[in-house]
Amino acid sequence: MDSMTESAPAPVGAAEEAPPSADVPAIALEGVAKTFRTGREEVAAVARTDLEIAQGEFFSLLGPSGCGKTTTMRMVAGFEDPTEGTVRLKGADVTRVAPDRRDVNMVFQSYALFPHMTVFDNIAFGLRRKGVPRDEVRRRVGEMLELVELSGRGRTKPGRMSGGQQQRVALARALVNRPSALLLDEPLGALDLKLRQAMQIELKRIQRDVGITFVYVTHDQGEALTMSDRIAVMNKGAVEQLGPPREIYERPASRFVAGFIGTSNLLSGTVSDASGGLAAFPAGEEGTVRAATGAAVGETVEITVRPEKIALHTARPDGAGTRSRVPGTVSEVVYLGSATHYTVAVDTGAQGGTELTVYTQNSAGTDDGPARGDRVWLEWGPEHSYVLPA
Amino acid sequence: MTATSAMSAPTAPARRARRRIDWGKYVTWAVIVWLLSPIAFMIVFSFNDIKGRHNVAWQGFTLHWYRDAFAYPDLTQALVNSLLIAVLTMAAAGVLGGLLGLALGRYTFRGQGATDLVMFSAISAPEVVMGAGLLSMFLTMNIATGFWTIVISHVMFSVSFVAITVRARVLALDPSLEEAARDLGASAWTTFRLVTLPMLAPALMAGGLIAFVLSIDDYIITTFVSGNTTTFPLWIWGTTRVGTPPQVNVMGTLIFAVGVLLAVVNAVMARRRG
């Protein structure tokens, strides 16, 4: 298509410019904010945000649509100008640098493959813009095709490929440039569930192989938990929590995070008994919730408990113990083969009823378990009652 | 045009129930025959071995008129004029209409509504009115009518068709395509050259062909602004009262053949682009 090589100056933030050092974050956002103006109204898409993404990290921006995650990524790529703040790539200020001069590459949600070019020309596009010699272009594109398992498909037009294949071409087209960071905007959104799960593992493998920083935008918490080293959970233009997947899941920093990551079972009450770092509050007339917290008697606490931490009993468990015990009525049973999901209506007294979700593994045998309408007892350890920050 | 309509004609269902008349097929063929018969007549009568001045009744087959296709220097000149004007119109309307369509499809700007209005009024205004208007404009501005005023007028009425065709294509384009090119290190101009322009090529081609066809075909507006220049349609109209020579059919046939060829080339290229 275009054999002419145009040599461009080295992009800002390229490895040659700043010597790679593990201390310098691959991407740094310093007080970055973005406001959109629609008519007379100003809408804050991203509130003042500070983020540091380390080199070689798989970092996810997770949140519902409209939370500002895509805008944040587009500011890193250079498609949106921040209203305030500084964007740094490997330490270099790129806030006012055009996208074609930034050493990051993006995988678009729609893939944005050039339909009039072959797969080979698509992948070679970035290299040719940099004036990479013809032989090296051929070699590196070949390597990329191999990496994404599309060897021999170089002459195909993208329109003749399946969604999964196009996805991999888009990935190869970005990765072949060896950017200091790869930005992925919901890249698996258009794929069906099976393919999406396969691609999640594939993406993680590729990221490990090439060792490039990945910034992954998604609204799918499962995707983020599966692949990420760290996750930033965003809501209404701000980062609500930043941490590794386990921490985000086990110790959500807010109601929003608890609800957005997996199913959250929320219970709240006034502490009626506190001793030895253990606080208890009643749930209904017979139930007691216990949490490992230093809260004093009379304080109101809200806890969340993950569905898989709860044990389901058909009769009241024996002994006093330090575990939470709450009775309820099964209102829904969803059999999933390897597991069963129960929804249990719990009487929490003063605040009226609430529903808790319980996941049980079907490892015991052929027992049918409780049915809809059965009275059951829920039980979990105090360490699994995670107290939400007030 | 013809090639396209024939290709998009609905195909008969693979299996037909016995004794059921497939009306769809007959209607389709009737429409095709109805559309093509005037052209068929023109082609057939280019081979008519006429003795007098009037080419109306079939008098036998001859290739005489093809050998003497350029026997009338005036007619030849008129055809050359028409082709030149059409090519110039196609080029100018292609560039202007392409840019206009790109701007209208891609950006929001002050005066967008007004531009739309002007464009559609150029399409919908009666040709007699436009022709008269153009003539009085040229006279007022003291511009001598002739070859170039024909070109200007033709560009004026065909630019909207190109713009509308291109705009439709621009609106259908994924904006991330251009972002992807920028992201991969292409400058704004390189992005236009390597991504935007190739993506718009089919629309530009279609729009350009429309401009060409409108130009080579135009009679009414051209009469007003032609001055002493004669185009193919003007020459033919001039001879109708005294008898149109078969050379007109010959040239009409050739023009039609070129048109079909261009349409086929366009279709083939569109298919190859996938």
Contacts of B95 (CB under 8 A, 6+ apart): none
| DSSP string computed for A340-389 | EEEEEEEE-GGG-EEEEEEEEETTS-S-----TT-EEEEEE-GGGSEEPP
The residue of chain A nearest to residue B195, with distances taken between CA atoms, is A114
Helix (H) or strand (E) holding A88: strand A84-89
CA distance A75 to A96: 10
* Percent helix, percent strand, percent coil in chain B, to nearest 5: 75, 0, 25
Closest-CA residue in chain B for A183? Answer: B183
Of B176, B185, B199, the CB nearest to A100: B185
Q: How far is CA A41 from CA A35, A37, B197, in A?
A: 10, 6, 36
| C-alpha neighbours within 13 Å on the C-beta side of residue A370 | 25
Taking CA atoms, what residue in A is nearest to B182? A100
- Answer with the residue of higher pLDDT: B17 or A127: A127
Q: Say which of B176, B177, B184 has its CB closest to residue A129.
A: B184
Query: Residue A87 belongs to what H/E stretch?
Result: strand A84-89
On whether any CB of chain B is under 8 Å from the CB of A112, the answer is yes
* Whole-angstrom distance, CA of residue A33 vs CA of residue A323: 45
Predicted local confidence at residue B2, as pLDDT: 43
B172-208 per-residue burial string, b: 16 or more CB within 10 A, e: under 16 = ebeebbbbbbbbbbbbeebbbebbbebbbbbbbbbbb
User: Under an 8 A CB cutoff, do B274 and A159 touch?
Assistant: yes
pLDDT number for residue A16: 46
CB-based contact A2 B184, cutoff 8 Å = no
Cα separation values, A269 from A173, A209, A325, A368, B3, Å: 54, 49, 14, 33, 77
CA distance A212 to chain B (A): 16
pLDDT in tens, chain A (390 residues): 444 444 455 566 554 444 455 578 999 999 999 998 877 788 888 999 999 999 999 999 999 988 999 999 999 999 999 999 999 999 999 999 999 999 999 999 999 999 999 999 999 999 999 999 999 999 999 999 998 889 989 999 999 999 889 999 999 999 999 998 999 999 888 788 888 888 888 888 888 888 899 999 999 888 899 899 999 999 999 999 999 999 998 888 888 998 888 777 888 888 888 887 888 888 877 888 888 887 888 888 888 888 889 988 888 887 767 888 888 889 899 988 888 899 998 876 555 678 888 998 887 666 677 888 888 999 998 888 888 876
Element (H, E) at B74: helix B73-106
Q: How many CB pairs below 8 Å do chains A and B form together?
A: 71
DSSP per residue, B201-245: HHHHHHHHHHHHHHHHH--HHHHHH-TT---HHHHHHHHTTT---
* Strand A375-380 to A324-335 pairing: antiparallel
Instruction: Using an 8 Å CB-CB cutoff, list chain B residues near A100.
Output: 182-187
Whole-Å CA distances, B46 to B2, B59, B234, B255, B261: 20, 12, 19, 13, 19
CA distance B170 to chain A (A): 14
Q: In b/e form, how buried is each residue of B153-171, taking b as 16+ CB within 10 angstroms? A: bbbbbbbbbbbbbbbebbe
* Token pair belonging to A209: 């192989």
Question: Would the CB atoms of A116 and B179 count as touching at under 8 Å?
Answer: no
Q: Which chain B residue has its CA at the smallest distance from A1's CA?
A: B194
A chain contacts of residue B273, beta-carbon cutoff 8 Å: 115-116
Q: For residue A80, what is the nearest residue in chain B, using CA coordinates?
A: B179
Strands (E), A286-352: 287-291, 300-305, 311-313, 324-335, 339-347
Q: Which chain B residue lies closest to A98 (C-alpha atoms)?
A: B182
The percentage of chain B sitting over the pLDDT mark of 70, rounded to a whole number, equals 92
> Chain B contact for A97, CB < 8 A?
no
| Residues of B whose CB is below 8 A from A130 | 185
Structure tokens at A237: 């233009």
Q: What is the 3-state secondary structure (H, E, C) of B146-186?
A: CHHHHHHHHHHHHHHHHHHHHHHHHHHCCCHHHHHHHHCCC
The alpha carbon of residue A104 is apart from the nearest alpha carbon of chain B, in Å, by 8
B190 and A6: CB-CB below 8 Å?
yes
Q: How far is CA B166 from the centre of its chain?
A: 15
**How far is it, in rounded angstroms, from Cα B267 to Cα B95?**
21
* pLDDT tens digits, one per residue of A301-326: 888 888 889 988 888 887 767 888 88
Using the 8-state DSSP alphabet, how is residue A322 labeled? S
CB contact under 8 A, A173 and B184: yes
What's residue A360's pLDDT? 87
Chain A residues within an 8 Å CB radius of B186 = 100, 125, 129
User: SS3 for A137?
Assistant: helix
Which among B2, B37, B65 has a CA at the least distance from the CA of B267? B2
Where does chain A have alpha helices with state H?
A: 69-77, 119-129, 134-147, 163-175, 193-210, 221-227, 245-250, 255-260
Sequence-ordered alpha helix ranges (H) in A211-310: 221-227, 245-250, 255-260
Tell me the nearest-neighbour CA distance from B245 into chain A, angstroms: 47
The residue type at B123: I
Q: Which of chain B's residues have a Cβ under 8 Å away from the Cβ of A110?
A: 174, 176
Mean pLDDT computed over B4-21: 53
Closest CA to A166 of A153, A179, A176: A153
Chain B residue with Cα closest to A176? B184
pLDDT at B231: 93
Residues of chain A numbered 29-88 and touching chain B (CB < 8 Å): 77-79
Question: Which residues of A fall within a CB distance of 8 Å from B187?
Answer: 8, 100
Q: For residue A58, what are the CA distances in angstroms to A232, A275, B234?
A: 11, 42, 72
Q: How far apart are the first and last CA of chain A?
A: 61
Question: Token match 């107290």: residue?
Answer: A387
A8 contact residues in B (CB cutoff 8 A): 185, 187
C-alpha distances out from residue B210 to A67, A381, B87, B183, Å: 47, 77, 11, 36
- Which chain B residue's Cα is nearest to A157? B274
CA-to-CA distance for A20 and A91, rounded, in angstroms? Answer: 10
Q: Tokens at residue A116, please?
A: 């009039």
pLDDT at B4: 44
Beta strand A104-107 pairing with A92-93 = unpaired
Whether residues A177 and B274 touch (CB distance < 8 A) is answered with no
Chain B residue set in contact with A, beta carbons under 8 Å: 174, 176-177, 179-187, 190, 194-195, 198-199, 273-274
Q: Is the pLDDT of residue B18 over 80?
A: no
Among B176, B182, B184, B195, the strongest candidate for a mutation testing the A interface, having the largest count of A CBs within 10 A, is B184
Rounded Cα distance, A96 and A118, in Å: 33
Residue of A nearest to B269 (CA): A116
- Cβ-based contacts of B177 with chain A (< 8 Å): 112, 114
Query: Are A155 and A119 spatial neighbours (Cβ–Cβ below 8 Å)?
Result: yes
- State residue A147's pLDDT score: 86
Q: Quick check: A106 and B179 CB within 8 A?
A: yes
Q: Six-digit token pair at A2?
A: 């275009």
Give counts: helices (H), strands (E), chain A: 8, 21
**Shortest Cα–Cα distance, B195 to chain A (Å):** 7
- A178 at interface of B, judged by CB pairs closer than 8 A: no
- The angle that helices B246-273 and B232-239 make with each other, rounded to 10 degrees, is 150
* Nearest residue in A to B200, CA atom: A116
Q: What is d(CA A169, CA A164) in angstroms, rounded to the nearest whole number?
A: 9
Q: Measuring CA to CA, which residue among A81, A123, A118 is closest to residue A102?
A: A81
Identify the CA nearest to B4 among candidates B213, B274, B266. B266
- In sequence order, what are the beta bridge partners of A34? A46
Residues of chain B found within 8 Å of residue A126, distances taken between Cβ atoms: 184-185
**Which residues in B lie closer than 8 A to residue A177 (C-beta atoms)?**
184-185
Q: What is the pLDDT of residues B33-58, one digit of tens each?
A: 999 999 999 999 999 888 877 777 88
